[in-house]
Amino acid sequence: MNLKDLSIKRKLMLITMLTSGLAVVLSSAGFLIYDLISFRQSLSQDLMTQAEIIGYNSAAAMAFKDESAATVTLSALQAKDDIVSAVLYTREGKIFTQYVHAKAARRDFPSPPQARGYRFEGSYLEVFRDVTLNGEPVGTLFLQSDMRQWNSRAKRYATIFLSFVLISGFFALIVSSKLQKLISGPILHLEDTMRMVSATKSYEVRATRFYGDEIGRLIDGFNTMLSEIQQRDTALHHANDELQTRTLELEGEIVHRKEMQKELLNAKHAAEDANRAKSAFLANMSHELRTPLNAIIGYSEMLEEETHELGKVESVKDLQKIQKAGKHLLSLINDVLDLSKIEAGRMGLHLETFEISPMIEEMVATLRPALSKNCNTVQVHLAEQLGVMRADITKVRQILFNLLSNACKFTDHGTISVDVNRSSDQGEEWIRFQVTDSGIGINAKQKANLFQEFTQADVSIARKYGGTGLGLAISYRYARLMKGRISVESEPGQGSVFTVHLPAKVTAEITGATPAEKASDVPAASPGMKSNLDTILVIDDDSTVRDLMSRFLTKLGFHVVAAASGEEGLRLAKQVNPLVVTLDVIMPDCDGWAVLNKLKADPELAEIPVIMVTVVDNESMGFELGASSYMIKPVDRDRLAILIEKHRLTRSSAVMDAQAFAASRRDASPKKDGGRVKRTATRNDRKTAAPIK
């Protein structure tokens, strides 16, 4: 039987009986236990008294070795039916005399000495007591009682206890069966009313209230609920009628909306086609614009170096103007493409860990010409222990570059300060970059649109200072992409303060963080650092790029091998085993992705670093396929030189480690062959060790 499923009537009776029964049992059991314990103590004291009397009467007999007198004394215990045995021991522990009740079974007596006093041993009470005469011990007395009085008392009390519990339970049953109606009656009436409402669906029925207690209030609440349901039922009927009328109207509207949905779907497809066309156009324009710009900037840099060596200063300045114009056009193209990718949601983060202080120093050094143009001074304040930051270093640089460029452009004969510090907010580390200038300032109306695309302060400022109005917009988007924020404080004529807050540890949500190359850890490349004419393999279908890369890398002291197709590049890679491979993506027949896959799948070529040099902006794909670095055309030659130098130093270190390991193996277990010791030649070490005598 499940107690939970019992009726409330039975539950109330059961609770009452259990409560009263438990109270009776506990009180009676307490009284019984107390009485039995007290009686047990009384028996112990009585037996101790008996032992004292017997010991006193037996002392003289034991002192004079009168065994018969001692036996007579113990025989007096026959008057006590509960004492089953008694023994007198001499001081030496031997039995002097003993007594066993006629109805008791024979049993072994304990051997003294035992602890003096009483003890309960099984179903017996035993007492040990010293027998003394004039204060001198003459022996030991042992008495044993079978506790029949205690057992008889316990059985009698148990019978009384059981009878009392049964009688009390009977009376509790009678009383609880009468009193439970006070509670179960109103509840059962409420149940009957509920069944009636459920069966007839008539919400006009009401339950009768009997008392003013909680059950009475429950009945009032039930009646109130019925009243509200009755009102809602009436309102529901009216609403149902209105709904039927409205349904007819909606059917007509649905037909109209389906037609509109079809038109919207067609418009959606058209917008998607337009978006794909826009993406294809931007990709094509990126390729078509970057390709000639790559040649213009590359050849102008080469010509500048050659012209500078010839001493033609005027021509150098002209070439620098060409470079400046080309790089300016490239920055405009990059801004437009970046903004397009951000709007399309295709801009990812390429996270790496880098030192903050060297990055700031590099940014300031890069902007020295812009600072000197308007005779501005710069102050850099870096907090102690700035440490490292994990973020997209390219985007952090771009944000700071845009802010510092604007400060240089809009400040004349003033001061520009850069403050960087680290702080903690709600358990998260933040890096704060603050750029302050003493320039023309910004009014409140201009600040409202400051971070909008293609927006500048006003037309006059645009004419005077130039610019497209994309720098701050892109910086704002980059900061938001890295879960940061940009704010500005400015007054006209008082300068501006731009503050950037970025997490010290940026996490990417859409695209996984891809490890990027850390150029800050590699020393600047210089011709003096090259040796042994390491081979660089250039794979590009554009002859202009191959020519520029070959001339540039040859000047740095490398041997350059060029391939015009992917298949040719794979063949040359196996032949020359190059130090580094530079690889374009857009090539006929076999594109750069396929070439990169094949390089990394070949065990002989998998360890060769591959630097992607392309107009395709898809760093995540390159790093996923195994590229070491990713560069967008036109190539930053200094950056390329640093990356190649890094790989050359890494390879040299690996070769030295291999040589050291081989030498240690040779010293440990030399292999002799005609008095000579042979060693395996490495790529930069083709000589054999000298003979060892």
User: What is the overall mean pLDDT for the chain?
Assistant: 79
Give, in order, the Cα–Cα distances in Å from 416 to each of 363, 435, 470: 13, 7, 22
What Rg do the C-alpha atoms of the chain give, in angstroms? 53
Summarised one tens digit per residue, pLDDT across range 214-244 is 788 888 888 888 888 888 888 888 888 888 8
Buried b (16+ CB within 10 A) or exposed e, 385-397: ebeebebbbebbb
- For CATH 3.40.50.2300, list the domain ranges present in the chain: 526-655
Q: What is the pLDDT of residue 685?
A: 37
Q: Which residues, at least 6 apart from 80, have a Cβ–Cβ distance to it below 8 Å?
A: 50
CA distance 58 to 66: 9
DSSP classification of residue 488:
E
- Tokens for 497? 């303060």
Per-residue pLDDT at 75 exceeds 70: yes
Measure the CA angle with vertex 205, ends 179 and 234; round to 5°: 145
The pLDDT score that the predictor gives to residue 561 is 93
Is pLDDT above 70 for 78? yes
Residue 401 has pLDDT above 90, yes or no: no
> Above 90 in pLDDT, residue 419?
yes
572 versus 521: the higher-pLDDT residue is 572
Burial of 376 (0-12, 13-18, 19+ CB in 10 A): buried
Residues in the chain: 693
| Sequence ranges of the chain with CATH classification 3.30.565.10 | 352-507
The answer to whether residues 168 and 154 touch, using CB atoms and an 8 Å cutoff, is no
Rounded Cα–Cα distance for residues 277 and 113 (Å): 114
Of 562, 613, 566, nearest to 588 (Cα)?
Answer: 566
Q: State the average pLDDT over residues 543-556.
A: 86
Would you call 692 helix, strand, or coil by DSSP? coil
* Amino acid making up residue 303: L
* Fold of the domain built from segment(s) 526-655: Rossmann fold (3.40.50)
Q: Is the pLDDT of residue 271 over 90?
A: no
Please give the Cα distance from 544 to 491 (Å, whole number). 50
Place of tokens 């003459």: 138
- pLDDT-above-90 percentage for the chain: 10
User: Strand 580-583 to strand 428-437: parallel, antiparallel, or no bridges (unpaired)?
Assistant: unpaired
Helix/strand/coil (H/E/C) assignment for every residue in 368-434: HHHHHHCCCEEEEEECCCCCEEEECHHHHHHHHHHHHHHHHHCCCCCEEEEEEEEEEECCEEEEEEE
With a CB cutoff of 8 Å and minimum separation 6, the contacts of 260 are: none
Quickly count: other Cβ atoms within 10 Å of residue 342's Cβ.
Answer: 18
- Cα–Cα distances (Å) from 229 to 197, 218, 224, 574, in that order, read 11, 16, 9, 87
Residue 385, token pair as written in the block: 């222990």
pLDDT, tens only, 506-517: 886 644 444 444
Residue linked to tokens 């036996």: 71
pLDDT in the model for residue 511: 42
- With a cut of 70, say whether residue 362 has pLDDT above it: yes
Give CA–CA dist 253/10, Å, rounded: 61
State in words which class domain 3-178 has. Answer: alpha beta
More confident residue, 656 or 389: 389
What is the rounded CA–CA span in Å between residue 249 and residue 180?
A: 60
Q: Is the pLDDT of residue 538 over 50?
A: yes
Mean pLDDT of 465-488: 80
Considering 154-163, 173-182, 304-313, 451-460, the range whose residues carry the highest mean pLDDT is 154-163
CA 525, 528, 530 angle in degrees (round to 5)? 70
Residues 502/484, Cβ–Cβ less than 8 Å: yes
Give the burial class of 97: count Cβ atoms within 10 A of its Cβ; 0-12 exposed, 13-18 middle, 19 or more buried. buried
Mean pLDDT over 340-347 rounds to: 65
**Residues 584-618: pLDDT tens digits?**
988 888 888 999 999 999 998 999 999 999 888 78
pLDDT band at 107 (very low <50, low <70, confident <90, very high): low
Least confident of 160-174, 430-444, 465-479, 611-625: 465-479
Q: Read off the pLDDT band of 536 (50, 70, 90).
A: very high
Omega of the bond leading into 691 within 30 degrees of 0 (cis): no
Band the pLDDT of 526: cuts 50, 70, 90: very low
pLDDT surpasses 50 at 677 = no
Band (pLDDT 50/70/90 cuts) for residue 48 is confident
Give the 3-state DSSP-derived string for 14-34, with helices as H, strands as E and coil as C. HHHHHHHHHHHHHHHHHHHHH
343 — pLDDT class (breaks 50, 70, 90): low
Q: How confident is the model at residue 469 (pLDDT cuts 50, 70, 90)?
A: low
The more confidently predicted of residues 583 and 289 is: 583
Which tokens belong to 331?
Answer: 């920055």
Cα–Cα distances (Å) from 15 to 81, 181, 184, 497, 589, in that order, read 48, 14, 13, 78, 90
pLDDT band at residue 664, thresholds of 50, 70 and 90?
low
Domain with CATH 3.30.450.20 in the chain: 3-178
Q: Please determine, looking at this structure, whether the domain spanning 352-507 carries the CATH number 2.170.260.10.
A: no
Cα angle at 424 between 509 and 378, to 5 degrees? 95
Give residue 516's pLDDT. Answer: 42
What is the DSSP annotation of 320-355? HHHHHHHHHHHHHHHHHHHHHHHHHT------EEEE
Q: Identify the CA nearest to 99 among candidates 123, 131, 74.
A: 74
Distance CA 38, CA 154 (A): 12
Tokens 């033609």 belong to residue:
312
User: What per-residue confidence (pLDDT) applies to 453?
Assistant: 64
* Strand 124-133 versus strand 117-121 pairing type: antiparallel
Nearest residue to 151 via CA among 26, 40, 258:
40
The neighbouring-strand residues paired with 462 are: none
Q: How would residue 112 be classed by pLDDT, with cut points 50, 70 and 90?
A: low
Average pLDDT over residues 563-590: 90
Q: What is the mean pLDDT of residues 60-88?
A: 84
SS3 262: helix
Q: Which two tokens stand for residue 321?
A: 């103007």
Res 470 pLDDT > 70: yes
Task: Give the pLDDT of residue 691.
Answer: 30
Residue 382 burial class via C-beta count within 10 angstroms: exposed 0-12, middle 13-18, buried 19 and up: middle
Taking residues 575-590, what's their average pLDDT?
89
pLDDT (average), residues 321-332: 72
